Structure 1
């Protein structure tokens, strides 16, 4: 099962029909408890249970439970995606135990989809939220974060506190799995876009170091070119990304269209598997990112997940 997703909005919806939550800068996870066994699945349905041993106690809460939420790594009270990235693909139980002891994560449960064998996704958000609160599951490692009536005030507060943004939800909305619904609207403070890397270019100095990446967006005809991103790739960020791209080297361009000569010059092509976030000033009329800057690798996303 894949989770319900929000659309990006340019303003906070007003009125009593809406409720507002903090947008956590973490990894979306469905926590499935059944007969004393816990399974944690990512947004792409990958089993990530081993990576987060500090959440094993969720299995002891109820005999049957399905929670939607985010795993976050808090640093000085603020979620840090960079800190969480080191945990996302850990498959060694021993290594996961070491990381959990040094820097444990917290599961922010914001929706309840099944309880005691009953699927409640068809019920409105307000009913699901009431049941979630009645579970009384708040601890140091998992909690049910609060909701707010005043979305504009919450947006201002999250900006001041350095949080990612907010999500607004219709109180009467059912939970529609694997769909992006206007009943959920997100307003991040950082305008970011997730794209797929299809190639990279070395630095213009002649050094064999990554200087820019060529990125695209999956579509029905393949990977559509979205631009060249060089800003933000200096130092260790570029080196780390290069380490991910080198094993994916391929002979030909993975893009659906022929790239402009200026962008393709000296390009090293890769199989499009690595997803990254870039910040930009929007898009040109031709669909290219305006003044894009690299933000981070998204190990929690697959390219197929963007074609939705």
Structure 2
């Protein structure tokens, strides 16, 4: 079952019909357990089996249950940080996963209940699903999985999470049903720092390595739209060493640019300065990028990212998901 997705928002929705939660900076996974099965299946947003990567989470409840949640790990400052999980999320080797679990322990934050003991709950309201989930937690049936708190005062939570350096908040309608795979306005996400999942359309060599053995130094990334892949900028910060090598292994070069041209979108073409020396690739790989402000929607920057930095590869998301 694919997870329900939140719609980006500009402000905290007011009123008693909304409940508010912390937005965790981690990896979204659906957990599926069955009675008598000792291991929980952990499924990514694009329906890939990620169970081998998370042995400390996969030993979940020994009953029929399907939950939605976020896997998190803490950085040196004690805050959830997606970057800490990057090496773990791509690993499928059992022995290496066990070593990761000791060195970079992860926690599964369960925030929704989709099925319990054969009862499908997705047509129930969020309030009813939460009530049943809290009862399961009170009985100790979630095991090591955590049940994060919810808050009535969204504005307060928004201010506190910003002050504490957390990613943001998610506001949900109490009466909302669960819509697998859909992005719904019944769930609103507000992030304190802007993150974007974008598609790689090309790469440029590191300065000083043109010709001979070229090392990957920057990515050209774009946003999928009905009009094609719209160019959003060049990302070089954060791409070093093993990251550059891993990216190079995953990119498939092609003979032409995958980006939409100016005839499709006045800001969609790749500038000449970014075309020179670029190796075009098939638009198959999704990466996470952090930038200053919501630049993709900024007219003053012509839809370009502002001072972007590479965060990681998103193999749990496909270009079609975007």
TM-score normalised by L of structure 1: 0.90
1:297 and 2:301 are equivalent in the alignment: no
Listed as ranges, the gaps of 5+ residues in structure 1 are none
Shift of 1:222: 3.6
**How many residues are matched?**
301
Choose which of 212, 217, 223 in structure 1 pairs with 2:223. 217
> Match of 1:142, SS?
coil
Which residue does 2:46 correspond to in 1? 44
Q: Distance in 2 between matches of 1:275 and 1:158?
A: 28
Counterparts in 2 of 1:177 and 1:213: CA distance versus 1, 3 Å? same
Deviations, residues 58-117 of structure 1 (Å, cap 9, x unaligned): 142xx2101000111123542121121111121111111121122221100000011110
Shift of 1:262: 2.3
1:125 and 2:105 are equivalent in the alignment: no
Q: Distance in 2 between matches of 1:276 and 1:252?
A: 20
Q: Distance in 1 between matches of 2:287 and 2:164?
A: 25
Choose which of 178, 181, 190 in structure 2 pairs with 1:187. 190
Q: How does 1:119-268 map to 2 (within 5 A)?
A: 119-136=120-137, 137=140, 141-205=144-208, 208-230=214-236, 232-233=237-238, 235-236=240-241, 240-246=243-249, 247-257=251-261, 259-268=270-279
Deviations, residues 237-257 of structure 1 (Å, cap 9, x unaligned): xx6135313552233222232
Which residue does 1:65 correspond to in 2? 65
Which residue does 1:5 correspond to in 2? 5
Counterparts in 2 of 1:125 and 1:245: CA distance versus 1, 3 Å? same
CA contact (8 A) 1:19 1:151 kept: yes
User: How large is the Cα RMSD of the aligned pairs?
Assistant: 2.2
CA contact (8 A) 2:46 2:317 kept: yes
Shift of 1:203: 4.1
Counterparts in 2 of 1:254 and 1:16: CA distance versus 1, 3 Å? same
Q: Distance in 1 between matches of 2:20 and 2:28?
A: 18
CA contact (8 A) 1:105 1:141 kept: no
TM-score normalised by L of structure 2: 0.86
Which residue does 2:56 correspond to in 1? 54
Listed as ranges, the gaps of 5+ residues in structure 2 are 262-268
Q: Distance in 2 between matches of 1:29 and 1:150?
A: 27
